[in-house]
Structure formats: C-alpha cells, structure tokens
Amino acid sequence: MGNLNSELFAAIDSVASGADEHALAASVQELMGKYRSRVDPEDLVLASDTDVAAYAAYRLPATFTAARSAFETAAASIPDLAPATHLDVGGGMGAAVWAASDAWPSLRSTTVLEQSAPAIALGRRIARRSTAPAVSGSEWRRFRLTGAVPDGPRVDLATMSYVLNELTPRVQEEVVRSLARRAGTVVLIEPGTPEGYARVIAARRQLAEEGLTVAAPCPHGEACPIAPGEDWCHFSERLNRSGVQRRLKFGTLGFEDEKFSFVAATSAPVARPANRVLRHPHKRKGLVSLNLCTTPPGVEERVVSKRQGETYRAARKAEWGDAWPPPEGTGR
Ligand SMILES: C[S@@+](CC[C@H](N)C(=O)[O-])C[C@H]1O[C@@H](n2cnc3c(N)ncnc32)[C@H](O)[C@@H]1O
C-alpha cells in the first residue's frame, strides 16, 4: 500500500488547483462562518460542487489528521482489533475513510452514509486515487440521518467524524446508540471545543450504556473526572498548510493546530494506559510537569525531576495525548 497521507493530500491539491480560486475562497469564508457556530440541522451546508471543493481544500486535511490521530490512539488501546468492515456516517469527502485505512490496514470494505450528493461525488472521485482497498473500493450511499442508522449487516468498526454538531440532540443519541448495536468498535470525533467535548461525553455514556467498553482516550471506563464547565478533554495535531490552503484561509502561517475531542468504545478486550497526558507538558530546566488523566479517575499535575533519571528522560519526550508512562518498546 502507498502512503495514504500523501495520496490524499495530492488528490486534494488536484481538486483545489482545478477549481476557480476566487469562488473557493468565497465559499471557504462562508463555510468557516457556519462551522464557527452551531450548524442548523435543517441546513445542507455542503450544497454545491464549489462548497465541497472548498471543504476538501481547507478542512479535509485537518479532519483527516484529527481522525487518524484518534484512530491510532484507539488502535493502541484495542490491540486485538483488526477490522475488516467499516461504516462511516456523515462521511463528507471521506476524511475518516482514509484515516481508518491508515490506522487499520486490515480494512477491506467501507460503506459511507452521507446526505450531500456533491460530497459523495467528490468523495468517490478522491477515493479512487487510493491504493488502499477499503478506500478505493468504498461504497457511498446517499442517506439523510433522522434517527438511528439504517439496519444492515454488523460491522467491525463504525466512525463519525465532525458530524454530531450537525444533528439535533435526539438524533445524536439515536445514531450513537444504533452504532453501538451495529458495530464491534465505535469511534466518534468532534471539534476540540467545550461544546464538542460535551457531545463526546454524552455519547461516551450512551456507548457504555449500550454495553461497550470505553477504550480511548480515557485510562478508565468510569465517569470523566473533568469538572463540567471548568475544563474540557481535547487533543491537538499540527499539520502543514499547502500553498492553496494558506491562500484560501488568508493565513500566513505554514501550519495549523487542529483541536479535537474523541471517544472510542469497543466490545473487544482493551489495554488502556495507566494515565494520559492532557496538555502540552511544561518543560523547564531539570523539571517536566505533566497534566494527567489518571487511574483511579482523577486529573493531576505530576512533576518529574532530573533526579528521576529514566523517567525524566521519558517525560522530556512526552507529548499531549501520549500514554503515561510510555508503553514499553516505544522509545519514549
Ligand atoms: C463537518 S462535515 C464532516 C465530514 C467528514 N466526516 C469529515 O470529518 O471531514 C459534516 C458532514 O455530515 C453530513 N451530515 C450532516 N447531517 C447529516 C444527516 N442528517 N445525515 C447525513 N449526513 C449528514 C454533512 O453533509 C457533512 O458531509
């Protein structure tokens, strides 16, 4: 299999370079305005070919990067998971389709449910450029969610990336519960905002009530120890911006940081880390301060000093989102 990351980014660049950049820039501004607030569930945000090309150019690299990070963390906590079948709901142009195949090369077949016809057309076109069988052979179905996902064969993996925000609270709950009944493992990703985290934490409880075990990012399956309204659990991934992305977003920086919240829950055995790093570690001379979600459930600031030798060297390498202590054999 080729490098899915570079295959996807090359496909996105060719979409953007084949489109009218002024029209794309106008659509990007409109989409950014809509996504900044809560999306009206009655609104079809990705309505035209220009909208979907604009989304592919300015958002898809970031949602792909966040989804891949969430899937890699989930994969580390569910070591026996080797999914063959995948259902992606609200697939857009396929960010989670590409990301899942990157994290789980065992995938052989993917079905995408999506309400927007232009999104499906572009998602299919981009997917054909992939060397991963579950991406290039992905099946795209036009479907508007108004409650539970439609009945169908059980799947090994179900994903929903940046979609809950566009559904009413009732539909969010019905979709999440139906995915828990339909799939062995469910991974949900939302923007890393207090509201995105609130949707994730509600979904986490519903997945557990349906009998799945919380696998990631949490080090335990009990209630989240973060005090509501005081903080929110989220992670961050840095990605490089292409020239066209910089022009479309009127950004001058060559990179952006995508913040996201997520939950993975499964019926497979889990191997959760003891703790997870919840912030960029604070590294000073001879000291590293780690903000940790812990087992038993809690949030604590742990200071590691140079006197702690091996542990200190590992703490210097620790990053936001990492398991702590690092799993053996990772060199961290
Ligand atoms: C922000 S985009 C995310 C797309 C993709 N999952 C990603 O991560 O890039 C939200 C997607 O959900 C789809 N969507 C929103 N409400 C939906 C509904 N009721 N039924 C089906 N799809 C829906 C939208 O059309 C859009 O493609």
Q: What is the C-alpha separation between 77 and 272, in angstroms, rounded?
A: 5
Helix (H, G, I), strand (E, B) or coil at 24: helix
Q: Which of helix, strand or coil describes residue 152?
A: coil
pLDDT digits (tens, 9 = 90+) for 129-151: 999 999 999 999 999 999 999 99
Using DSSP's 3-state secondary structure scheme, residue 141 falls into strand
Q: Is the CB of 50 under 6 A from ligand 1?
A: no
> 324 falls in which pLDDT band (50, 70, 90)?
very high
DSSP 42: T
Residue 201, ligand 1, Cβ within 6 A:
no
332 pLDDT tier (thresholds 50, 70, 90):
low
Tokens standing for 94?
Answer: 């396929």
Cα distance between residue 87 and residue 144, in whole Å: 15
* pLDDT band at residue 36 under the 50/70/90 scheme: confident
Q: Is 245 in the pocket of ligand 1 (CB under 6 A)?
A: no
Note the pLDDT of residue 241. Answer: 82
The domain covering 4-266 belongs, at the CATH homologous superfamily level, to Vaccinia Virus protein VP39 (3.40.50.150)
Contacts of 151 (CB under 8 A, 6+ apart): none
Question: Is residue 71 in contact with ligand 1, taking CB distance under 6 Å?
Answer: no
Structural contact between residues 91 and 114, judged by C-beta atoms closer than 8 angstroms? yes
Instruction: Please work out whether the CB of residue 81 comes within 6 Å of at least one atom of ligand 1.
Output: no
Question: pLDDT band for position 37 (50/70/90)?
Answer: confident
Pocket test of ligand 1: the residue of 68, 115, 164, 168 to mutate, having most ligand atoms within 8 Å of its CB, is: 115
Q: Is 89 in the pocket of ligand 1 (CB under 6 A)?
A: no
Residue that is written with structure tokens 């459930």 in the block: 297
- Confidence (pLDDT) at 2: 53
Exposed / middle / buried, residue 238 (Cβ in 10 Å: 0-12, 13-18, 19+): exposed
Q: What are phi and psi of 134, to 5 degrees?
A: -70, -20
Residues in a beta bridge with 327: none
Q: How far is the CA of 228 from the centre of ligand 1 (A)?
A: 27
Structure tokens at 267: 């019926």
pLDDT at 35: 80
Measured distance CA(210)–CA(266) in Å, rounded: 10
Q: Determine which residue's CA is closest to atom 26 belonging to ligand 1.
A: 92
* Average pLDDT of the residues in 237-258: 82
CA 202 to ligand 1 centroid distance, Å: 19
- pLDDT, residue 248, reads 78
d(CA 203, CA 198): 9
* Ligand 1 pocket mutation pick from 36, 97, 163 by most atoms within 8 angstroms of CB: 163
pLDDT digits (tens, 9 = 90+) for 250-266: 667 888 899 999 999 99
Q: Is 91 in the pocket of ligand 1 (CB under 6 A)?
A: yes
Please, are residues 97 and 113 in contact by the beta-carbon 8 Å criterion?
A: no
Domain map of the chain by residue range? Answer: 4-266, 275-324
More confident residue, 251 or 241: 241
Cβ-contact 329, 79 below 8 angstroms: no
Nearest CA to ligand 1 atom 15: 166
| Tens digits of residue pLDDT in 89-103 | 999 999 999 999 999
Nearest CA to ligand 1 atom 10: 163
User: Does residue 17 contact residue 242 with C-beta atoms inside 8 Å?
Assistant: no
Pocket flag, ligand 1, residue 315 (CB < 6 Å): no
Q: Are 145 and 91 in contact (CB under 8 A)?
A: no
Task: Copy the structure tokens of residue 231.
Answer: 């903080």
Provide CB contacts within 8 A for 328, sequence distance 6+: none
Query: From ligand 1's centre to the CA of 330, what distance in Å?
Result: 35
Give 22: exposed, middle or buried? Use CB within 10 Å, 0-12, 13-18, 19+.
exposed
Q: Are strands 213-216 and 255-266 parallel, antiparallel or unpaired?
A: antiparallel
298 C-beta neighbours (distance < 10 Å), count: 13
